[in-house]
Amino acid sequence: MVDQSDGESTRVYSNGPIPLNGSVEEKLDELRALLGKADGDPLRIVGVGAGAWGSVFIAMLQECYGSFREKVLIRIWRRPGRSVDKSTAEHLFEVINAREDVLRRLIRRCAYLKYVEARLGDRTLHADEILKDGFCLNMIDTPLCPLKVVTNLQEAVWDADIVVNGLPSTETREVFEEIKKYWKERIAMPVIISLAKGVEAELEPEPRVITPTQMISRATGVPLENILYLGGPNIASEIYNKEYGNARICGSDKWRKALASFLRQPHFIVWDNGDLVTHEVMGGLKNVYAIGAGMVATLTKESATSKAVYFAHCTSEMIFITHLLAEDPEKLAGPLLADTYVTLLKGRNAWYGQKLASGEVNLEMGDNIKGKGMIQGVSAVKAFYELLSQSSLSMLHPKEKRTIAPVELCPILKMLHSILILREFPPEAILVALRDESMNDPRERIEMAQSHVFYRPSLLGQQP
């Protein structure tokens, strides 16, 4: 709804009015100035990857800043060729007809007929084609604004000022190695905002975590100073529907405060923090335990007690792992628990755990699931287990006085690895681990972690 009663154009949502000029344009001008953009030279923002969060993020920028066409160009890249099957086309047609605003928009754009034909099976739609009309294949029920879609990667990124990485962590390195070819002649490096929540394990020359921002820097040569991570307790569809959400952008002083201001909206609060890598690792870690939370919820028929007990155990393991990784882990408590909570409630990883436990999906289907995209918690389970089982990280158990690998203090992680990676047990085994009479009180694990004797700076590539 647009309200022009006070002479200033605003769009009113349940969380309050969002001004369409004035302060919004000022934020755009401030970012343009920081990037050294001259008059007549638009700020070029491109999203790489069109999953749910990547598409919503670019659509959110398009809605907020897209009307300033002389000052900013916003586009998104996705691979061409992925077709939309008939059942999805039928569902998409139902979504279109249930939303009068979307229906009218497609009719005005002369695009409605192709969705009729697709529903009838007379035409095959493609993911890049429907994205131009505002439909993300991983989030059909949430129509977005129309987007400028580019399927040629070189065309998308070669002159970009800001690149938003919306790829899964498992695809980030490969795509950015390709992008490097197109940046060889660049004088100034772009600013990169990574939305990816996943990690890899690097075991030689010593065990350490590799994050998407590190993958990007290695692949492209862009300094880490120019690469930031954005994550937080939010669900993509809720953010686009103007429900309240927040995030934290982490990285160098040079960029993060200006970008936090640029991204902030009344319904989407963006904070900033200088601790890039640790926040990024935590973003991957909570996906690990979200899968188990989904399993427990389904297997216990949403038992509040079982879910609470699981939450106590998984958060105590996360706190323990945080103390391995961070010198000042207490600073991460708020964002880590908030992001974990929302992911356990409504994230795709929790959904995946639910569907595994109910038998609606199985491990043979892989971790890229139709209609949901990449389930990044699966690869994260493997990475964290490999890292924390390395003998070079062994420590003295503070109570039992024996040498153990860190993973021995993480029974939930161990069981998830046995279920998802080794496939030794069915999903029901998560309850066996949860109800094991020998399992220690999670309070004891937290107390051990808080002794600060476990900190391993080498896990993040830092010097002790």
Q: Per residue in 146-168, pLDDT tens? A: 999 999 999 999 999 999 999 99
Residues 6+ apart with CB under 8 A from 165: 48, 49, 54, 172, 176, 192, 193, 194, 195, 196, 212, 216
Query: Active-site residue numbers?
Result: 286
**Single-letter amino acid, residue 81:** G
User: Rounded to whole angstroms, how far apart are CA atoms 340 and 338?
Assistant: 5
Q: Which residues contact 89 (CB under 8 A, 6 or more apart)?
A: 115, 118, 119, 125
Tell me what the mean pLDDT of segment 84-113 comes to: 96
Encode 385-410: b = buried (16+ Cβ within 10 Å), e = exposed: bbbbbbeebebeeeeeeeeebbbbbb
How many Å apart are CA 344 and CA 287, to the nearest integer?
8
pLDDT band at 245 (very low <50, low <70, confident <90, very high): confident
Reply yes or no on whether the pLDDT at 104 is more than 80. yes
- Is residue 398 very low, low, confident or very high in pLDDT (cuts 50, 70, 90)? low
Say if residue 267's pLDDT is above 60: yes
Q: What is the pLDDT of residue 4?
A: 35
Is the link from the previous residue into 205 a cis peptide, with omega within 30 of 0? yes
Correct CATH for 281-452 of 1.10.1040.10, 2.40.30.10, 3.90.700.10, 1.10.260.40: 1.10.1040.10
- pLDDT above 80 (res 436): no
pLDDT at 400 over 80: no
With cut-offs at 50, 70 and 90, classify the pLDDT of residue 462.
low
| Mean confidence (pLDDT) of the chain | 88
pLDDT value of position 13 = 37
* Dihedral pair phi/psi, residue 250, rounded to 5°: -120, 140
How far apart, in whole angstroms, are the C-alpha atoms of residue 404 and residue 440?
16
The predicted model scores a pTM of 0.89
| Domain ranges for the chain | 281-452
Q: For residue 275, name the pLDDT band (cuts at 50, 70, 90).
A: confident
What is the rounded end-to-end Cα distance, in angstroms, of the chain?
56
The string of pLDDT tens digits covering residues 294-353 is 999 999 999 999 999 999 899 889 888 888 887 777 766 666 777 888 888 888 999 999
Identity at 252, one-letter amino acid code: S
Using DSSP bridges, classify how beta strands 16-19 and 10-13 pair: parallel, antiparallel or unpaired.
antiparallel
